[in-house]
């Protein structure tokens, strides 16, 4: 099993992608992503479900405070940044941020992911909403299908990279209908003793990622203004390759040096191909 801290080592794919935005937009994207990654880190910082639930509640209340009258900004870097962000875009409402928190929490609970379509819906409610917000900040435009495929690919890749931790802590990982069809369960997944069976059970999730990447390729080039918002999807391709080649997903090393990811993004920015 890998340490959860390794999942968040170094600059995130989003943060590296934001460097391609105009100078005036970069701080806004940084504030958005810093808040999103604070929410996403909750289940990886607190293993106990009760503690996780308390932290999700705290963040819901912190968001509500930001949109209250009078406004209350909690002494937390993520919320100080979010306060700056919402001053620039009145389309970023309390409902937007509360919905992201709900989606992240649902993504920790196996019972909330009964099938593949629900997993994709969670990706849309989480990664899709963040990508749409980033697009607003960048002032770019892209086809709805391109935004959806890019967001799903980035989200599913992150899901793959956290395979070992999700399995070991009995978080949502494989849709329940897939586990049932395989005659597998979350307890056997958590044991780490059946890597072959676990990889087979996880195959439908990898197929979802592959499908979204194929859909993204079919959309053609990414508009220049949209690139900083959608570029994390480019890095999802390497995640899929690593997962496909792994003999044991519990021990697969998905970590890539920052310089390698930066070079990959640079090539994509020139070609326009995600």
User: Does the model's pTM come out above 0.75?
Assistant: yes
Q: Which of 229, 269, 232 minimizes the C-alpha distance to 134?
A: 229
What range defines the domain where residue 199 resides? 17-271
10 inside domain: no
4 inside domain: no
27 inside domain: yes
Angular region, 192: left φ>0, alpha ψ -120 to 50, beta rest = left
pLDDT tens by residue, 206-243: 999 999 999 999 999 999 999 999 999 999 999 999 99
256 inside domain: yes
1 inside domain: no
Long-range contacts of 61-69 (CB under 8 A, 24+ apart): 63/94, 63/97, 63/98, 63/101, 64/94, 64/98, 66/94, 67/93, 67/94
The tokens of 235 are what?
């890095």
What is the C-alpha separation between 253 and 242, in angstroms, rounded? 8
6 inside domain: no
* Angstrom distances, CA of residue 207 to CA of 22, 201, 214: 35, 11, 10
Average pLDDT of the residues in 108-125: 98
Q: How many domains does the chain have?
A: 1
CATH code at 42? Answer: 1.10.600.10
Average pLDDT of the residues in 47-73: 95
* Angstrom distances, CA of residue 161 to CA of 6, 33, 58, 152, 232: 10, 18, 27, 14, 14
240 inside domain: yes
């Amino acid at each position: 099993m890998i340490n959860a801290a390794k999942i968040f080592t170094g600059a995130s794919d989003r943060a590296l992608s934001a460097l391609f935005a105009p100078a005036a937009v970069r701080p806004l994207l940084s504030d958005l992503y810093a808040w999103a990654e604070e929410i996403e880190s909750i289940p990886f910082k607190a293993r106990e479900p009760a503690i996780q639930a308390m932290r999700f509640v705290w963040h819901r209340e912190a968001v509500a405070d930001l949109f209250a009258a009078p406004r209350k900004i909690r002494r937390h870097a993520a919320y100080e940044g979010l306060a700056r962000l919402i001053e620039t875009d009145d389309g970023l409402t309390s409902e937007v941020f509360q919905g992201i928190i709900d989606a992240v929490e649902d993504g920790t609970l196996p019972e909330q992911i009964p099938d593949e379509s629900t997993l994709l819906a969670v990706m849309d409610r989480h990664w899709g909403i963040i990508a749409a917000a980033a697009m607003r900040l960048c002032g770019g435009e892209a086809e709805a299908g391109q935004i959806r495929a890019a967001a799903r690919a980035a989200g599913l890749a992150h899901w793959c990279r956290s395979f070992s931790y999700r399995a070991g802590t009995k978080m949502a990982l494989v849709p329940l209908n897939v586990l049932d069809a395989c005659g597998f369960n979350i307890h056997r997944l958590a044991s780490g003793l059946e890597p072959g069976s676990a990889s087979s059970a996880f195959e439908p999730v990898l197929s979802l990622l592959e499908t979204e990447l194929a859909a993204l390729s079919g959309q053609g080039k990414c508009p220049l203004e949209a690139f900083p918002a959608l570029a994390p999807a480019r890095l999802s391709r390497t995640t899929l390759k690593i997962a496909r080649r792994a003999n044991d997903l519990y021990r697969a090393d998905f970590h890539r040096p920052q310089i390698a990811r930066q070079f990959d993004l640079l090539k994509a920015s020139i070609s326009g191909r995600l």
